[in-house]
Structure formats: C-alpha cells, structure tokens
C-alpha cells in the first residue's frame, strides 16, 4: 500500500497567486536576491525547511498552557526531559536558534588560529567559526564528488583526510571535529553510523573533541534504518540515541527536526565546557532554563521532538521527497542522487550549461523558478561558496552549481510539489532562455543573505 502522511489538515492558510509581471517587478525591487522577496509575493516557499514546518494540534495545546516563569519553568523541564531522552548529555541548554547555539559552543571550544574540521560547514556555522579567527575546513567524502551516484551515505566525512589532518602538521591546531547530520551543505546526504564510529575513534586517538551538528538528526536516523546494514531492526529513536552517544556534544537547530518555529539546543559532556557555555549563554541569550526561548516555544519543541521520531511520519516524509525527485528528474532536471529528505539539490550547472560559473547558474535557476512560477529557493554554488575579488568578480568557482529546493515539514501537499516539478519542466524545455547575473554589491561574510545583483539577459 502507498505511504501516506500520519495526520490530517484542520487549519489552512491561503497562499499568494501572482502574475509573471508582478514577480518581475518584485525580484527587481529585491535586487535579484530571493532572500529580500516579501513572502506575500511568493507562491510556493521552498527557501528553507528551518522554522517553516506546520505545528501540530498537540504542539499548540502545549504552547497554550506554557509556564512563563523566568527561571525553572515547567516548560523548561519538559524540554529537558525530551532532550535527555534522546541525547544523554549531562549538560544541555535551550537556545533561541541554531546559529546562537553555534556561537555559544564555538566560543567555549575554539581559539583564534585553530581549525574546525567538518564533513561540511553550512553558512552560519562557517561564519561563527571564522568570526572567532579560526579556520573552517571541509572534508567531504570522495563519493559526494559524483553527484549522479547512488552511494547511500555521501554525507560522510572523509576519514582518510581527517586522519591525515589530525596526524599531520596541522593536527595540533584542530580544536574540534564537527559532523553535520544530515549533510546540508553536501546535498542533504546522510552520514552512516560506521562513519560516526570511526570519527569517534580518531578523535579519541588524537585527543580532539567531537561534536554533532544535529539539526536533522531524526531524518539521518531514518535513512540509517533504511540504508545501513545492521540497523534495519532498530527504531529511528534508537539510532538517534546511539548517534548522540558517540559524540562529546552537539548543537542542533530545532527549527528543523524539532518541527518548531524557533528553538535550538546545546548539549555537552565536559563540565568545564558546560560552565563556559552557561556563562556565555546567560550574558548574551538568557537564563540557563530558557536561553532566549519563549516558554511556548520550549513546549512546542518538547512535543516536536516526540513527533519527529515517529516512523510513520518519517516514512511519509521520505516518500514525499522521493516522489518529488522522480517528478523532477522526469522533467529533465538532474538532482544530487540519491534523494534525501529535507530538500532536493538541483544540478543547475548541467541544466544551464550556457551560463559559466561567473554568471551564477545556480542563482539563475533559482531566479527563473521564481519568475516562472512564484517558487522561492536558494542556490548552493559559486555565489555561496565561490571566492571573489574586491570588485565582486568570481575568482574561484564552487565545485558544483546547485540549487537547494527545501521541503518544509507537513506544509505542502504532493500537488504543490507536482506544481514545482511542472515549473521546472517548462524551464527545461528551453534552458537557453534563462538569464545570467552579476554581483553589484556584497558583504565579505554571509554575502548570499545581503548581496545585490544585476540581471544579464540571455544572449547578451
């Protein structure tokens, strides 16, 4: 029988329907930066899966009765119980969102000149490392280089490269190893338990702390259950518990697999690191029992952590992503294979082969998706990962020109995703008509959030 969502829809929100002319004007006003589009001009918003999922009736009921005490509220203890059940870390703190958790933990662990090694640092993760004067070094596994292969765990860190780094002349500078599950910057691909165990062994051997960026811990656990030999008999909760147990701690944006509008987590084993985190947290975010989170968000997260590990929910989410992936590839647009769960990653470099990296084919496809159908998404290519000179010219292209089409949790139906596939199919009929872009202005850090561009018509 077909897999179906283990819920029914009881409250709906209208979405904007716009014309091409209206979208042309809106994108021009936004200086061709999709982050600057007002949401009332977006029909299908697939920019991110962070904080954009639909909350359940149980989450809203819990939020309505939240205890708003400044210190030691009932909401905190419910949050703590849900986190303790999953992670077993003796020291855990709520934080208002993932980038704040990164800042607090990294400030407590890293020093200027040190190295943070990861399978892939995502945007704010990299920024929080670099703002400390440290280096963010990515070591994705070799299998990810073949976007078309169906290797099941292309999110893994390169173990040989990790050991070479730890044993080499830079080894003394490595302040942490951070493994992101699933690997958002690496095509949304999962990380195997075998890889995590090997990282644990290497970190023990060389005396380096090992942390997880666990924003999508439940989805990674589900893909382990589905793909890794020896784990098919376990529940996603059991796999998640084993993954957390392997690490010295974690940061986790709970706007993803907490299925909440706001919230994050810091968890650590080392009491000295915990003390440094706590002082930083209280000084900059809020008291240790709320960390900048409102009580109703603590309640939503606590309930969301229970709902997200339901195998029926995870099976439905995997099926939706797989169905979407089939439609997109049938439309003539290649994606990073195999499809994951929280997003599809479109191979814009292959589809828009007439646009060189300096014209930003990933961004060009993201803009065309918006212009053609009101669909908002974001590129993960040279605009995000490339090296630029002082005049905003591309100097070092990214290895791949991708577009991330994120799938918010419990938000869009299959009909919405089918519509997006139809828009892509129309673009794929004549990709040569898609315009390229040039950067007019951009900040030196996290430029994709704030840059301004000009459109260069096709054929110019």
Residue matched to tokens 């009932």: 74
> Which candidate in 121, 296, 342, 448 is catalytic?
448
Q: SS3 sequence, the chain?
A: CCCCCCCCCCCCCCCCCCCHHHHHHHHHHCCCCHHHCCHHHCCEECCCCCCCCCCCHHHHHHHHCCCCCCCCCHHHHHHHHHHHHHHCCCEEEEECCHHHHHHHHHHHHCCCCCEEEECCCCHHHHHHHHCCCCEEEECECHHHHCCCCCCCCCCCECHHHHHHHHHCCCHHHEEEEEEECCEHHHCCECCCHHHHHHHHHHHHHHCCCEEEECCCHHHHHHHHHHHCCCCCCCCHHHHHHHHHHHCCEEEEECCCCCCCCCCEEEEECCHHHHHHHHHHHHHHCCCCCCCCCCHHHHHHHHHHHHHCCCHHHHHHHHHHHHHHHHHHHHCCCCECCCCCCCEEEEEHHHHCCCCCHHHCHHHHHHHHHHHHHCEECEEECHHHHCEECCCCCEEECCCCCEEEEECCCCCCCHHHHHHHHHHHHHHHHCHHHCCEEEEEECCCCCHHHHCEEEEECCCC
Q: Is 123 tagged catalytic?
A: yes
> Which candidate in 96, 121, 255, 256 is catalytic?
256
Q: Which of 103, 85, 83 is nearest to 94 (CA)?
A: 83
Q: Is 4 tagged catalytic?
A: no
Q: Is 256 tagged catalytic?
A: yes
Q: Which residues share a beta bridge with 394?
A: 388
Q: Is 211 tagged catalytic?
A: no
Cβ–Cβ under 8 Å, residues 47 and 74: no
Cβ–Cβ under 8 Å, residues 345 and 399: no
Other beta carbons less than 10 A from residue 434's beta carbon: 22
> Which candidate in 45, 49, 123, 257 is catalytic?
123
> Which candidate in 76, 89, 122, 384 is catalytic?
122
Q: Are strands 343-347 and 402-406 parallel, antiparallel or unpaired?
A: antiparallel
Q: What is the dihedral sign for C-alpha 102, 103, 108, 110?
A: positive
Q: Is 448 tagged catalytic?
A: yes
Residue matched to tokens 């769960």: 341
> Which candidate in 215, 260, 364, 398 is catalytic?
215
> Which candidate in 70, 85, 167, 275 is catalytic?
70
The set of catalytic residues is 70, 122-123, 213, 215, 256, 448
């Amino acid at each position: 029988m077909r897999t179906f969502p283990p819920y029914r829809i009881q409250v709906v929100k209208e979405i904007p329907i716009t014309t091409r002319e209206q979208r042309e004007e809106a994108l021009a006003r936004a200086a061709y930066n999709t982050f600057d589009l007002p949401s009332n001009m977006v029909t299908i918003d697939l920019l991110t899966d962070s904080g954009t999922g639909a909350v359940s009736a149980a989450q809203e009921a819990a939020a309505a009765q939240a205890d708003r005490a400044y210190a030691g509220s009932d909401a905190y203890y419910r949050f703590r119980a849900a986190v303790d059940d999953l992670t077993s870390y003796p020291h855990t703190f709520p934080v208002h969102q993932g980038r704040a958790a990164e800042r607090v933990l990294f400030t407590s662990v890293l020093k200027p000149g040190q190295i943070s090694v990861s399978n892939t640092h995502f945007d704010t993760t990299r920024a929080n490392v670099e703002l400390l004067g440290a280096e963010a070094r990515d070591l994705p596994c070799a299998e990810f280089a073949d976007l078309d292969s169906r290797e099941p765990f292309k999110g893994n860190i390169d173990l040989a490269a990790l050991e070479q780094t730890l044993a080499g002349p830079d080894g003394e500078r490595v302040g942490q190893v951070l493994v992101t599950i699933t690997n958002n910057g690496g095509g949304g691909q999962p990380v195997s338990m075998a890889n995590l165990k090997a990282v644990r062994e290497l970190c023990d051997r060389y005396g380096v702390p090992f942390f997880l960026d666990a924003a999508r811990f439940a989805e990674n656990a589900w893909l382990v259950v589905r793909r890794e030999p020896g784990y098919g008999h376990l529940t996603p909760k059991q796999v998640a518990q084993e993954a957390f147990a392997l690490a010295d701690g974690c940061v986790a944006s709970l706007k993803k697999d907490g299925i909440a509008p706001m919230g994050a987590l810091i968890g650590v084993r080392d009491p000295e690191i915990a003390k440094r985190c706590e002082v930083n947290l209280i000084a900059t975010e809020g008291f240790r029992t709320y960390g900048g989170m409102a009580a109703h968000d603590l309640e939503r997260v606590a309930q969301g952590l229970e709902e997200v590990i339901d195998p029926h929910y995870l099976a439905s989410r995997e099926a939706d992503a797989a169905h979407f992936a089939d439609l997109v590839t049938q439309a003539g647009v290649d994606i990073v294979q195999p499809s994951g769960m929280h997003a599809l990653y479109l191979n814009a470099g292959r589809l828009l082969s007439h646009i060189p990296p300096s014209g930003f084919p990933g961004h060009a496809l993201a803009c065309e998706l918006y212009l053609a159908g009101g669909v908002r998404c974001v590129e993960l290519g040279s605009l995000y990962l490339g090296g630029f000179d002082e005049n905003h010219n591309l100097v070092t292209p990214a290895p791949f020109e991708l577009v991330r089409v994120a799938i918010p949790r419990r938000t869009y139906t299959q009909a919405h995703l089918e519509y997006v596939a139809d828009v892509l199919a129309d673009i794929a009929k004549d990709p040569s008509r898609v315009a390229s872009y040039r950067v007019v202005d951009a900040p030196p850090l996290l430029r994709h959030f704030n840059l301004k561009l000009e459109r260069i018509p096709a054929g110019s």
